[in-house]
Structure 1
Amino acid sequence: MQETVAEAIKDTSPFFTNDTIVFGILMVSLGLIFYTSSKKKGFWKVFYSVVPALFMAYLIPALFTTFGIIAPEWNSVSDTGVVTEGGSSLYYIASRYLLPAALVLMTLSIDLRAVFNLGPKALIMFLTGTVGIIIGGPIAILLIGYFSPETLATPELPAAVAGEFNDVWRGLSTLSGSWIGGGANQTAMLEVYHYNQKIYGGMVFVDIVIANIWMAIILIGIGKSAKIDKWLGADTSAIEALKEKVSNYALEKERNPSLTDLMILAAIAFGTVGFAHFGAGYMSGFFTEFINGLEPGLTRNLFTFLGSSFFWMISITTIIGILLSYTKLRTYEGAGASKFGSVFIYILVASIGMKMDLMLIFDNLGLIAIGAVWMVIHAGLLILVAKLIKAPYFFLAVGSQANVGGAASAPIVASAFHPSLATVGVLLAVFGYAIGTIGAVACTFLMQLAAAG
């Protein structure tokens, strides 16, 4: 007897599906993490000397998702066989509302001249990460194809999901777009190489698993950054000078915030969010019309990122934050601007963590292996160049995340070193959007050759 669609789809509903309850669980988790990490002696002191609190803010929600307590999305099957798709809105809210609010609050006291005084190593490490992605894809295809040719074989699909463009290298092209630029570049590669969208979910899955595992490794490394910098022989004086300058300014202006201070901070943060969304709507709409007017092909897709409202939202927020840093509003750092920004960042980290089901790693081991080798090459090249030019771990971590994670996670990693450094992550991530598609096209060309070979 043939299976019905409802019978073929599993019920994947988590224990809690109400976002209000899920948000409460995430906030209690963050509260416990900060409470235990504040302990100055005993087990927790030793534990957090090895595992950063930021990593735990990512891992605990991932464990909740893995054990089915919460979930980013799910299928619900009723007794009558009706299938309903569900999902959490927490990541969307955190990335579209709390992230820009955090960025403007963390940028209020930034010294842009001091950021540029960090030198060219930040850009070098970012571009190194880009090159690592471009060459990593074809090398991964060659290695995994040698040991597991079936992984690269064009799948024979049922008629329901069949398509003309099922080649694995076409699907991997979307990963290169995501890992150099971001979501807009990923969509552009999907359009350029016409990968079968009915099986596109498998590539999204590899993207989520590998990118999140790599981010977790980077967060763990932050706790060991001093030892890593010593091994790299890195000069961190410019970074430390910037951190000290911002910290001293905050201490100089520090005060017990009044209700007026808190309301002004809220106005700055969410007024910027509102204006950024307003501006992003107009800018993305204008450029979408412009892009649609171009001839179909590579030229059109090179500019796809300009039609992304997320790109414009982050860009407008960063510009506003930098402009406000030249006004008297920068004194609100003394009222705790960057601390409130950090609260929003931790909520974003927790919402990213809940997108990761650790058991999914075993669902498609061949593609996961390609992604893992790809990321190892990216990381290896970054480590090699960092050692050669004696770049601090900060530049390695942020340069990598500006590629792989984009504007959503690069500021998270940067601010984990110090809130004043969040802008560095944003600026590099925005640059990644600009070069993401052309870099991904180069990577895909090499992957096509590797797959043919």
Structure 2
Amino acid sequence: MEHKEVFLTNDAVIFGILMILLALIFKTSALKTPFWKKFYTYIPVILLSYFLPSLLNTFGLVDAEASQLYFVASRFLLPACLVLLTLSIDLKEIFKLGPKALIMFFAATIGVIVGGPLAILIMSYISPDAVGGIGPDAVWRGMSTIAGSWIGGGANQAAMYEVFKPSDELYSVSITVDVIVAEIWMAILLLGIGRKEQINKFFKADNSSIATLRDKMEAYSLSIAKIPNVTDLMMILGIGFGITGLAHAGADWIAPAIANGMPELSKFSLDSKFFWIIVLATTFGIAVSFTKLREYEGAGASKIGTVFIFILVATIGMKMDVLAIFENPGFFAVGLIWMAFHAIIMIVAARLSHAPFFFLAVGSKANIGGAASAPVLAAAFHPSLAPVGVLLAVMGYALGTYGAWLCGLLMQIAAQN
């Protein structure tokens, strides 16, 4: 694959810039001056952590596709942070959250499956060329790969690429639409966190179970809090990265075994190594939470996990080109209409089930973003809530290919009418 000419090609330099940006964001967010207090009232820290790195790609300073930073962050830091964030979790309290989390998760899946063909139907009346094309250049083929990403993740997207075989050029445009439209929705959800009380009031939602989980985790952290020494920090990193290594080892064995011995399970992405890395890291992290190692939360385990999350966020943001939307306005319009249907179904489901905004946001991102985004968004509510996002995202990976395949077939029918 050819890569564009860029100003910065050294990942060490790019990583240094990302860390400086994150440091400046957190430093200014901690200032008590009226300007910065008002600024961060409307612009969440995590949203800025996405947007500022995206400018590096938008203005051609870096080539995000050539950089290995996202790969390292998603394969090393993400599983490690999942371990550290689940280290002190109270699994019984998570189960007490009730069925509304699952209701909102499946509403999000239905929103993607139904929204795709409806978006094509609408655009076929407004601008038929935007949803036209024949053979490998048929727009619906490219959109099927977006469905894979929006019901699961990258592995599901790659599976749809193999199933429906869009042209490479169309696939490239689809990825751009996928990333930017998904990040616009992410920005809206993050802005909603600052208004969650008003939103919950509109949904007539009972937020008590989530507040109880958050308060219990905070109380536990305070009860074991200590000033960490070097040994504590090394133990925390040893737990996080040691289990990450174990998860990779397990994934290296399980994924090929399923691909070779039970290929029919590939439609559920069960032959994806990344899927198993996330599942095993989360499982081992929960297992460790039943041991005395959970007391390392008092030395800052979740804080280190949160640092890893924000590094991951910065590398995700670096992949986004905010000007690309002007290059393919028709295709982006389809994506925006599609996301609008998803959002409407989520809002209606939350209103009918009286689900709190937390379940709407995390249920949506467990589909649209998967394990790389759902725990990030959940942690934006509170770090102790990240495992809820992880558990739902794992379901998204398992169902993503099947749901996207169905959505692809419906979009094909819609495009032919």
Return the TM-score normalized by structure 2.
0.97
- Match in the other structure for 1:371: 335
Match of 1:111 in 2: 90
Give how far 1:236 is off.
Answer: 0.7
Separation of aligned partners in 1, 2:220 and 2:390: 22
What corresponds to 1:349 in structure 2?
Answer: 313
The residue type equivalent to 1:176 in the other structure is: A
Off by >6 Å, runs of 4+ in structure 1: none
**What is the aligned partner in structure 2 of residue 285 from structure 1?**
256
Match of 2:123 among 141, 144, 154: 144
Distance 2:169 2:272 in 1: 23
Judge conservation of contact 2:139–2:170 (CA < 8 Å) in 1.
no
**Residues 1:135 and 2:100 aligned together:** no
CA deviations on 1:252-282 (whole Å, 9 max, x unpaired) are 0000011111111010011011111111111
Percent of paired sites with the same residue = 53
Matched, 1:21 2:13: yes
* Counterpart position of 2:23: 31
C-alpha distance in structure 1 between counterparts of 2:144 and 2:113, whole Å: 10
Q: CA deviation at 1:218?
A: 1.5
> Displacement, 1:29?
0.7
* Distance in 1, Cα, partners of 2:5 & 2:347: 41
Q: CA deviation at 1:422?
A: 0.8
Which residue of structure 1 aligns with residue 401 of structure 2?
Answer: 437
| Pairing 1:166-177 to 2, within 5 Å after superposition | 166-177=137-148
Q: Which runs of 5+ in 1 are unaligned?
A: 1-8, 74-86, 156-163, 293-298
Q: Unaligned stretches of 5+ in structure 2? A: none
Inter-partner Cα distance in structure 2 for 1:425 and 1:234: 19
Question: 1:15, 1:70 within 8 Å by CA — same for their partners in 2?
Answer: yes
1:89 to 68, 71, 74: 68
Matches within 5 A, 1:55-70: 55-70=47-62
Q: How many residues align?
A: 417
Q: Is the CA contact (8 Å cut-off) linking 1:192 and 1:301 kept in structure 2? A: no
Give the equivalent residue in structure 2 for 1:251. Answer: 222
Q: 2:239 aligns with which of 268, 271, 280?
A: 268
Mapped partners of 1:127, 1:357: distance in 2: 30
Listed as ranges, the matches of 1:172-251 within 5 Å are: 172-197=143-168, 199-251=170-222
Q: C-alpha offsets along residues 15-64 of structure 1, whole Å, 9 cap, x if unaligned?
A: 22211111111111111111111122310001111111111111111122
Query: Contact 2:267/2:401 (CA < 8 Å) preserved in 1?
Result: yes
> Aligned partners of 1:300 and 1:259: how far apart in 2?
45
Distance 2:251 2:220 in 1: 32
Structure 2 residue aligned with 1:328, among 278, 292, 296? 292
SS in 1 for 2:270: helix
Amino acid at match of 2:396: G
Would you say the 8 A contact 1:91–1:348 is kept in 2?
Answer: yes
The structure whose Rg is larger is: 1
Asked whether the 8 Å contact 1:284–1:307 carries over to 2, the reply is yes
Which amino acid in structure 2 is aligned with residue 100 of structure 1? P
Which stretch shifts more, 173-182 or 131-140? Answer: 173-182
CA RMSD of aligned residues (A): 1.6
Match of 1:81 in 2: none
> Does residue 80 of structure 2 align to residue 101 of structure 1?
yes
Moved more, 226-235 or 352-361: 226-235
Hey, what does 1:124 align to over in structure 2? 103
Distance 2:166 2:28 in 1: 47
SS at match of 2:61: coil
Q: Counterpart of 1:77?
A: none
Query: Which string of whole-angstrom CA distances, capped at 9 and with x for unpartnered residues, describes residues 398-453 of structure 1?
Result: 00000010111111001111111111111111111111122112212221221111
CA contact (8 A) 1:283 1:312 kept: yes
Q: CA deviation at 1:199?
A: 3.5
Aligned to 2:43: 51
